[in-house]
Amino acid sequence: MTTTGTDTHRGSPTCLPIRSDMDLMWIRQEVRRLATEAQFSLVQQTKLVTAASELARNTLVHGGGGHMEATVLNEGVHTAVRLVFADSGPGIADVDQAMSDGYTSGGGLGLGLGGARRLVHDFRLDSEPGRGTTITVVMWHGGVPPTRQAI
Amino acid sequence: MRVSEQQIGDEWSSASQVGQALRHRREQIAQRWADAPLFRTVFTVSRDEAVEACKAVLDALAEVAEAGRVEDVDAPGFFVVREQLARMSASRARTGLSPAQIAGEVAALRSSAVEHLTAELEQEPTAVVHGALLALTTLMGTLRLVVMETALSDGAELINRQRQQLLEVATPVIKLWDGIVAVPLIGTLDSARSQVVMESLLEAIVAQQAKYAILDITGVPTVDSLVAQHLMKTVAAARLMGAECVVSGVRPAIAQTIVQLGLDLGGVVTRATLADALAFALRGLGVGFGPTSQGAVAR
């Protein structure tokens, strides 16, 4: 997550805790607010909020709680919202398996991770068993800029 | 060891001195406290009522002090006045005061108590007066904590009650036609809410002998996999009872999101609007319309 892009400006990040179902509601509202601020279309807003809801619930249910950091990025005419979900839970042993649709360890539908990846433009998962999981997603408004930094 | 025993002994005697002083000066301090906003604005019927309330608090403080538990929030002496303190802080909170401001009002009671304690111990050596003042300060700090605690637990209880009320308020089951019931879902569909929805819907299906149940999600801002799972469980349960379920209010943005998320709602009848769902159900029931109202079911 190096941020050396000369044209990339970013607002100050918002950090929200993920410890209970009430926090999930707060996260959805906050992400919707940021997406509106970044002038996302209604479809884009809905997709980002849904992805955030899935990932935040994973952080809560599988990671035992953590936090989300949200930042609005600007690169030329392109605007993006970046969300980072971090927990210090047990981590994911088999990432490919966890990403596959229908696989679940928590009694859900098993669509959270794979679905969230399809809903956003950039998706990165860092996990190590015993060390927790960090998932970074980015959604661009006005198309994905060709010069964007790898997240 | 001698020193610490000595110290404990001193603290003990300081505390009991405070207790005695509070009892001795009960009337005077109560008269002063009755004019403080904390009591004056809560006990408005008569001044005597406020004075009585002050005396109750003073008696409790004296008892706690005499028991040597000036630092103990859970001292038995406070039990008697806990309810009264809760009522007072709730009443102050209703006028728009923050917990910190209420705590400030409790702290403001200290000065008149200190004044009377100093007057009471006029003849005593300075060290004794200091010890007693320290004990009284600690005691008043503890009283402040007790008030804060009751105020906060009151708030938590209120939130809990409102959450329960919201669960019931937000899930009305509406009879749209003979054999057709609908639930307009509003807000977040978490596990607790969806349980209530399922229960009230299944009960309504029995009570109304409904053949069709419509779940309208127009008011649900986010449909993620958990919400979808709850919806599908409700649909499956309704089906087991012989009612066909229709999910309506699927907006364009929600539809696109559901597809990309990979949710398979294939087994569920869905419609864009509540009107479409009602038309579907009416057709299913074989409800006929005269030529004049043909337009209403033209879809």
Q: Which residue has the higher pLDDT, B68 or B297?
A: B68
pLDDT at res. B41: 85
Q: What is the pLDDT of residues A37-66, one digit of tens each?
A: 889 999 999 999 999 999 999 999 889 999
What total of structural domains would you count in chain A? 1
If you measure CA to CA, which chain B residue comes closest to A115?
Answer: B261
Q: Chain A within 8 Å of B254 (Cβ-Cβ)? A: yes
Give the CATH number for residue A32: 3.30.565.10
Which listed CATH number (3.20.20.80, 3.30.540.10, 3.30.230.70, 3.30.750.24) goes with B174-287? Answer: 3.30.750.24
Q: How many CB atoms lie within 10 A of CB B35?
A: 13
Q: Chain A within 8 Å of B257 (Cβ-Cβ)? A: yes
pTM, rounded to two decimals:
0.67
Residue A2 lies in a domain: no
Residue A77 lies in a domain: yes
Point out the least confidently predicted range of A29-38, B155-164, B285-294.
B285-294
Going by pLDDT thresholds of 50, 70 and 90, the confidence category of residue B299 is: very low
Handedness of CA B216, B222, B225, B227 (dihedral sign): negative
Backbone angles phi, psi at B284, to 5 degrees: -65, -35
Q: B2-166 in CATH: which number?
A: 1.10.490
Point out the least confidently predicted range of B49-53, B77-81, B148-152.
B148-152
Residue A135 belongs to what domain range? 13-141
pLDDT over threshold 50, residue A5: no
Of B190, B221, B262, the CB nearest to A101: B262
Give B 134-193 residues with CB within 8 A of chain A: 188, 190-191
Give the CA count within 13 Å in the CB-facing half-sphere of A12: 0
pLDDT over threshold 90, residue B263: no
If you measure CA to CA, which chain B residue comes closest to A20?
Answer: B190
Mean of per-residue pLDDT scores for chain A: 85
Going by pLDDT thresholds of 50, 70 and 90, the confidence category of residue B122 is: confident
Q: Which residue has the higher pLDDT, B188 or A118?
A: A118
Contacts A112 to B, Cβ<8 Å: 225
Interface mutation target, options B257, B258, B268, chain A, most CBs of A under 10 Å: B257
Single-letter code of the amino acid located at A2: T
Interface mutation target, options A22, A26, A50, chain B, most CBs of B under 10 Å: A50
Distance CA B216, CA B185 (A): 6
- To the nearest 10°, the Cα dihedral for B206, B208, B211, B215? -90
The two counts, helices (H) then strands (E), for chain A are: 4, 6
Contacts B222 to A, Cβ<8 Å: 28, 46, 49-50, 53
This complex has an ipTM of: 0.83
Residue A107 lies in a domain: yes
pLDDT at res. B168: 66
Mean of per-residue pLDDT scores for chain B: 85
Where in chain B are all domains bearing CATH 1.10.490?
2-166
